[in-house]
Amino acid sequence: MEKFTTLTGVAAPLPMINVDTDMIIPKQFLKTIRRSGLGGSLFYELRYGDDGAEKPEFVLNQPAYRQATILVTGDNFGCGSSREHAPWALLDYGIRCIIAPSFADIFYNNCFKNGILPIALPQSDVDKLMDDAERGANATVTVDLESQTIRGPDGGTLHFDIDPFRKHCLLNGLDDIGLTMQKAPRIDDFEARQRAEVPWLYR
């Protein structure tokens, strides 16, 4: 998993509440088990019309936000079904940080396991960042995980809270497999000892 330390990028405003996982990545795109290739289908029904053409009014179709790496959005983001394809699609598109007043629990946990930083802030702070994000290409925001701060385009700084263990994992690029592999020497020792004590298990 890619480490998350400091991210500076354009923040895209998505002032919608209750954005569910089917809206993030519709069910017809869940056939794959690959994490790549889903970015083109992110927010599919919001981004594209019935003819497959882009909807120019949708924020990620606007030139100023096509390279956005931060998403500022509304309450209860990621609700609905527990599909891990939702953070996969966001990450494949290039979104590394999502800022909202609240998140659905399973989606929130899945973000951390995939290298995305979800930040929950009071509504007043989200409103300020939403206003900043509406500046278009000038909506450059810096998220510093180590100091747990967000610096807006005007230089103002906000602080956010995060669980220390999740912070450690993101800073060091550790997903569940990475955490397990840190114990590789102990796992190897156990297997060697077990082979000697109960060799029939390995026949």
Q: Are residues 50 and 62 in the same domain?
A: yes
Spell out the residues 6+ positions from residue 18 whose beta carbon is closer than 8 angstroms to its own. 74, 75, 76, 79
pTM (predicted TM-score): 0.89
Q: Are residues 157 and 63 in the same domain?
A: yes
Q: Are residues 191 and 107 in the same domain?
A: no
Contact 141, 115 (CB under 8 A): no
Domain that holds residue 197: 174-203
Residue 48 in domain = yes
Residue 1 in domain = no
Report the number of distinct structural domains present in the chain: 2
**Residue 104: phi, psi to the nearest 5?**
-70, 140
- Mean of pLDDT values over 59-76: 97
Query: DSSP readout, 118-183?
Result: EEE--HHHHHHHHHHHTTGGG-EEEEETTTTEEE-TTS-EEE----HHHHHHHHHT--HHHHHHTT
Q: Are residues 125 and 37 in the same domain?
A: yes
77-86, 107-116, 184-193, range with the lowest pLDDT: 184-193
Q: Are residues 122 and 179 in the same domain?
A: no
Residue 124 in domain = yes
Q: What's the CATH number where 67 sits?
A: 3.20.19.10
Q: Are residues 195 and 147 in the same domain?
A: no
Contact 129, 149 (CB under 8 A): no
Spell out the residues 6+ positions from residue 32 whose beta carbon is closer than 8 angstroms to its own. 38, 85
Q: Identify the band that residue 175 occupies on the pLDDT scale cut at 50, 70 and 90.
A: confident
